[in-house]
Chains A and B, each alone.
Chain A
Amino acid sequence: MATLYLNVIAGGILIGIVYALIALGLTIIFGVMRIVNFAHGEMVVIGMYVGYGLWSVTKIPPWMIAPAAALVLFVLGYALQRAIVNSFIDRPQHSQFILFISFALIITGLHLVFFGPDPRPIGMIESMQSYAIGPLHLDVVRSQAALMALAFVAALILFLQQSTFGRSIRAAADNLIGARVIGIRVHTVYSVTAGIGMGCAGAAGTLVAPIFDTQPFLATDFTLIAFIIVIVGGLGSLTGALLGGVLIGLSEALAALTISPALKTVFSYALLALVLVWRPNGLFGEQER
């Protein structure tokens, strides 16, 4: 029994790390631009199709393809921000919301037109294998995905902490007017940030492609998971997104085991409501100024 729980907890943490990468993309966009990307799950699904497509042509395992998907989504995010979203920065929230809803509709529409509604599973030998460490059995695909996600997170944090451009992103997030005053080109910062945020979603999409069968309608689920994580962790907080992701992965896994797989999301929503009542700005968010 203890072994079962141990394995479920480990599985939950592994998938939680990938969720964290998705949430990180959402939170970095919000932190810098105060814009909520309601099409985030759609970006994840683009990453899944990139992963599926490259895998079916080359048979390279998806975790190695993830950087390519990140690059594709970075370019897409950058271009969208340049062409359209930058002019929506000062618009009211409902306006931005409809903009991203229209992106979501367009992306899902394109997915349906090109790939149809049928799920596309990735069948690999690794899907059946696991690493045994004592009583612990770690699913190979999930472990690879989690490790790769961690590598992305580490690279992103290094970039934000150490590089000049990363510092200007943080400066723009902390104090927009101050950043303008010292000569930071805010719109370029925005575009790169959007690219990074959507790149995270794309990479995570490729990583989960062997775990969930790729399908256009998964997008809403991913958007919702990312939302729950980001609100629980605190909008705009990187630490919050990371720990929130693991927390939600864990709570989903435990709820599926102890209550019923059909009710696993209920657990996450209940957690979300409790956190909002207890700390309205999330566990790691800035509290009331």
Chain B
Amino acid sequence: MVIQIENLVKRYSDLVAIDHLNLEIKEGEIFGLLGPNGSGKTTTINCILSLLQYDKGTIKIFGKDMTPHSYDIKKDIGIVMQNVAVFDELTVYENIDYFCSLYIKDRAERKKCVEEAIRFVGLEDFRKFVPKKLSGGLLRRLNIACGVAHKPKLIILDEPTVAVDPQSRNNILEGIKNLNKNGATIIYTSHYMEEVEQLCTRIAIIDKGRVIAQGTTDELKSMISQGEKVVVEVYYLEDEDLEKIRELPNVESAEFENNILTVRGKKEKTNLSDLLSFINYKKISYGKIYSELPTLNDVFLEITGKELRD
């Protein structure tokens, strides 16, 4: 086990930021911490790293208790903060070299690591640039390079794609997959469910400082009662027809609002063909039609009654 957290409690005065949180993260995983803003993801990370004092609970990393002075543990951890943490006065190369020097003393080895990190994030053409000359996406890449250049066994990425353009985001996500392929265990926090779904092998959904669900994407989706969602653009629909749609086999619910008909199916059942047959039979004119499998947002919605991005 790379990380073991038991009964973690962290309070800010009267506010309970982390409420008896339990987590286990295995070696080789890309573990996602998913939750809305303010759910306690970053606080959890800061407690794991001993940056914050916590009120109760135990945190073990690589089987050892984590404290601010656990230098033997820290040398195997890489952190990519939510905010870009680099020196404005140093160049790309110098920034990576500086942070790498906190972990690796040998100059030759460090130089090799820095060069690899620059190649890894694709900043070869920008090595002499100072941070303010870089775009937002490139800056995020530099932030990642500073966190992973020393080749840590455990990498914690706290919302690394906030305010990043799609191209850089894809680049970053691919890079994280490669880090994992090279043997690193990854903890990835985000409030972008698509990213977490695409990237993570296991996910914990956090709300109000508590883990409300955890498992693989499929396991999480199987926790909820609803199945496929079919959305149809309909120009006019009688109330009587809407009632009949609700009575179709495997239909969990049906709503019609603003010319959009949304039909949710029962878990692991499909109702698309029955619905299309009904629409054709009733000669209801329709435009765009598409179906969606349940997302993590649906999981979150069903468990908490609110959207992930509320």
A binds B: no
What is the interface of chain B, defined by CB distance below 8 A to chain A? none
What is the interface of chain A, defined by CB distance below 8 A to chain B? none
